[in-house]
A and B are shown apart, each in its own frame.
Chain A
Amino acid sequence: MTKRLLLGNDAFCEGLIAGGVRFYAGYPITPATEIAEAMSRRMPEVGGTYVQMEDELGSMGAIMGASATGVKSATASAGPGMALMQNELGQSIVAEIPLVVINVQRAGPGIGNATRSGQMEVMQSRYGSNGEVPAVVLSPSSVEEAFWLTVKAVNFSEMLRTVVIVLGEGMLGLQRAVVDLPDYDDIKLAERPRPSVQPDEFLGNYNANALSDVPPIADFGAGYKSILSSVGISRRGGGDISVLGLSEDDQDFTIRRLHQKILDRKNEITLFEQLMTEDAEIVYIAFGTQALSAIGAMHEARAKGIKAGVLRLITVWPFPEDIVRTCCAKARAVVVPEMNLGQVRLLVGSALANTGIKIVGVNRVDSITITPAQILEKTKEVLS
């Protein structure tokens, strides 16, 4: 362990490196630029490659190409850059190319408020790309967690052969904190499933038989005919499916499998923190930086004799509905503080449908953090 004073964005970088990422393609954008800057220095130092592409579409394209050769790859962006990336995000998820994308969220739509922070891309992360693609999204609350969660993101992306988004925030990316960094050699890394058969027996990168399968993927240049296609994939092999088109059965199987391979491993990838929820009659459900305000509010509420608890969502997608239900077993009300107009509240509402639990939000879109006092005020309001 070494103690280091790290910028949040640098913690993301170190997490990527510790997770085994050796290829980074980037394009500068506030407030994620420091990630590209740090990677431009760090990648060659660890024997990797940094490339600055001509736009975010290019960044995504380059990391897809690099990951296809078996090198763990990542990029980072924010705001309108993430909007541009949606196309390739969907392509990579369907083509099942493992990647990590860090979104250091800025505030507002369009160009927005580049130097300010927000939490407005919960829904974009899941529904931003065309054609019903699944999402795996992790959201850290602290600089230290940014490091560890990014390592996990790399592992999950390899294990699931999918894109994992780390949902950061400007507020976190540009925050400095002292972090205990481990020896990177001690970290357990996951590797994508690779073919165990000879090249002439290899049936392609999409040879799945069950909905929960994560089929082996052959690195480009490893001697296999390896086709990665976002056209739509069949049960067996890549082949010339783009000409024939997918049968109704195969299309159904493809789309359902993309989701099911993740849902079947939900227990492994659902990360959360629950604090005093066992007897809580009011539960604060929050993620990212705003979870810290929720924890502050919980302590103040407990001091006042209110039985409050916190469910901090670390894995935001797939949304942990069952965990939400368990944590709210004794709850009369739920408060969801978030820096948007109620994206997670909507999901909590659907998880707690027909339970009679009152669900309210504390929402700010002025890029200023929600205070524990605001959450407490809402608590009194909802319990009265």
Chain B
Amino acid sequence: MSVQSEMPAIKPVKKKLDLQRPLDELVELYAEIPARQFRYCPGCGLGMAQSAIMRAFHRAGVDITKVATAGGSGCYSVMGHYFKSNHIHGSHGRGCAYAMGMKLARPELTVVTLQGDGDLLAIGGNHFIHAARRNIDITVICFNNYNFGDTGGQFAPTTPLGSKTDTSTLGMPEPAFDACKLAIGAGASFVARSTVAHPAHLTKMIADAIEWKGFAFVEVMQHCHVLWGRRNGMPEAMDMMRFYKDNSVLNTSSVPEDERFDIPIYSEDEKNVKFVLGVLNKEQKPEYTEEYAKLRAKAMAKVTGKAKS
């Protein structure tokens, strides 16, 4: 496996990648508010993540009115309001619980949660692992910016060991979660990671996750140069983009798509590698709403049988 710092060259699987499509057109199709009015910090990675999600919607060919998103509190929480999809903006951490209800009640909906790293892995950790365990057909997108940005930059479960935040001014004393390993451990059938510095790759990962039948998780490394970067020697957005590019390897580079999933998340022999991008787990399993539908059919047949006899 080699460290690859260029934009990954991925052959489109089904449809042509829509990277060339003007952003304004995508905004018109999938978002509600003119692009100039999106309210993220200047240079924030969330804008790039949002356009990747819009491109992924387009690539996956979803009907935006049949998309239901869920989220709670965090910098990302405005994103759900921007899409033309249906959205629950509830309390901090409950995204996966809302998504469970939406998908189970209306399996025909495309259900996506938009959650931050603190939201998903700290306060919402329980809902996350259990939704993964059930293999319900939802897509969980985690914007990992290494800290609680909305409250001003406190450490989160993902903050790298030793790095400085508002509540770890002397260095983060706790080891960080690897969100993808957690998801795999909990039973997620599709797990992928990408960064906002690899927009084409990120788009493909999100589109694949949306198209996946079962629980799909995408960790989006999304920089927060304003709060985390500034305190850790990367004060500009471009510093952090470079950081992602220099420290990423793709586990998609040398093996065909079907065989690339045995590669470990972290590469032992390449010490400087921080993130392995790509699909990290893909496993066909029974999907929860389909299994429940079978159970329901059985229960209903039993009742009608009783009524007839």
Interface set of A (CB-CB < 8 Å, partner B): 22-23, 25, 41, 44-49, 51, 53-55, 57-58, 60-71, 73, 87-88, 91, 95, 199, 218, 220-231, 238-243
Contact = CB atoms under 8 A, between A and B. Distances in A.
Given A65-B70, A229-B89, A47 B296 contact: yes
B39 to A, nearest CB: 4
Contacts of B87: 226-229, 238
Given A66-B105, A243-B78, A220 B91 contact: no
A66 B109 CA distance: 11
Interface in B221-265: none
A240 B105 contact: no
A222 to B, nearest CB: 8
Contacts, number: 170
A62 B134 CA distance: 14
B105 A49 contact: yes
Of listed A46, A53, A69, A240, residue having the most chain B CB within 10 A: A69
B68 A220 contact: yes
Interface string B105-127: 11011000000000000000011
Contacts of A221: 65-66, 68, 86, 106, 108-109
A67 B94 CA distance: 15
10 contacts: A22-B105, A57-B97, A69-B102, A88-B94, A226-B86, A227-B80, A229-B89, A230-B90, A242-B78, A243-B39
B98 A65 contact: yes
A23 B100 CA distance: 11
Nearest to B302: A45
A325 B33 CA distance: 53
B296 A58 contact: no
Contacts of A220: 68, 86, 102, 106, 109
A87 to B, nearest CB: 6
Contact of B68 (A49, A68, A241): A68
Contacts of A199: 65
Interface of B: 32-33, 37, 39, 65-66, 68, 70, 77-78, 80-82, 84-91, 94, 96-106, 108-109, 126-127, 130, 292, 295-296, 298-300, 302-303
Nearest to B100: A62
Contacts of A62: 97-98, 100-101, 104
Contacts of B103: 65
Contact of B97 (A22, A65, A222, A224): A65
A47 B300 contact: yes
Contacts of B89: 95, 227-231, 242
B101 A66 contact: yes
A69 B68 contact: yes
A53 B94 CA distance: 12
Contacts of B99: 65
Given A88-B90, A225-B84, A228-B89, A66 B68 contact: no
B91 A71 contact: no
A230 B126 CA distance: 21
A41 B300 CA distance: 10
B104 A51 contact: yes
Of listed B32, B84, B101, B300, residue having the most chain A CB within 10 A: B101
A126 to B, nearest CB: 20
A66 B102 contact: yes
B127 A65 contact: no
Contact of B94 (A23, A57, A239, A240): A57
A274 B107 CA distance: 47
A62 B98 CA distance: 5
Contact of B78 (A23, A47, A68, A240): A240
Nearest to B110: A221
A53 B78 contact: no
Contacts of B108: 221
Contacts of B32: 225
Interchain residue pairs A-B with the least CB separation, the first 9? A61-B97, A65-B101, A44-B299, A62-B101, A66-B105, A66-B101, A65-B98, A220-B86, A65-B102
Contact of B101 (A23, A48, A229): A23
A338 B162 CA distance: 57
Nearest to A244: B39
Contacts of A67: 101, 105
A240 B39 contact: yes
Contacts of A73: 101, 105
Contact of A65 (B105, B299, B302): B105
Contacts of A58: 94, 97, 100, 126-127, 130
A218 B87 CA distance: 11
B106 A224 contact: no
A192 B147 CA distance: 40
Nearest to A64: B98
A382 B70 CA distance: 57
B300 A65 contact: no
Contacts of A48: 296
B143 to A, nearest CB: 16
Contacts of B33: 240
B134 to A, nearest CB: 9
A239 B81 contact: yes
Contacts of B292: 44, 49
A223 B65 contact: yes
Contacts of A63: 101
A41 B295 CA distance: 10
Contact of B90 (A49, A95, A239): A95
Nearest to B83: A225
Of listed B37, B70, B86, B302, residue having the most chain A CB within 10 A: B86
Contacts of B106: 69-71, 220-221
